[in-house]
Amino acid sequence: MLLFYNFLLSLSPTSAILPKLNVGLPNAKNPLPVTPSKLVKRVCKGDTIDRNFCLQVLTTPEAVAVKDPTKLGTLLMQLGAANGKATLDAYNEMIKKPGSPQTLKALNSCVEAYKYAIQSFKIVDDPMTANYDVSILAPEITNCEKALTDAKVEAPRLYDGNRFIKSYIAMGSRITSILEDQ
């Protein structure tokens, strides 16, 4: 199953970081909403999960067709990697702009966190390992956010990207819990 990611950089700041899946519905002008599967509902029900974000991400035809938590975890890791890459690109754009040494230091620390995040999300051969690696990323992203705040960086796209990656991290942790319970 091929997934094509379109990053809608020209739209609102949230869509600049949130990947939109092009699921290839050539004849459908307004596809019907997709009902979440039981597995998707179970993932999105976690205490630390942003339910609306989770449902938005996991109510694509590909995601709701998945009945196996391992396969859903793999899909989630792919989406997290794509999100991380889009956010990393936004950080790299910001680094090119003139700014204070403190701003540059904050942006560079975030770039390093995102490089590690993308690498962790890409370990899709072993979703349990990938999910574990991803779950320990939250403090790195929190440190990134703190550095941005301390440097008084005003970049909503970056803060949105951080919020989204934290949501992917939480969903990855939730998938790990589901896999461990089996």
Closest by CA position to 14, among listed 57, 64, 77:
57
Quickly list DSSP for 49-107.
S-HHHHHHHH-SHHHHH---HHHHHHHHHHHHHHHHHHHHHHHHHHHTS---HHHHHHH
DSSP state of 20: E
Domains and CATH numbers, the chain: 4-181 (1.20.140.40)
Closest by CA position to 149, among listed 141, 165, 137, 112:
141
The answer for residues whose C-beta is within 8 angstroms of residue 38's C-beta and 6 or more apart is none
Residues 117-162: pLDDT tens digits? 898 888 766 666 666 777 788 899 999 999 999 999 999 999 999 9
The answer to whether the CB of 119 falls within 8 A of the CB of 75 is: no
Residues 54-100: pLDDT tens digits? 999 999 888 888 889 888 988 888 899 999 999 999 999 999 999 99
- What SS3 class is residue 122? coil
> Residue 3: its pLDDT value, please?
28
Write down the pTM of the prediction: 0.78
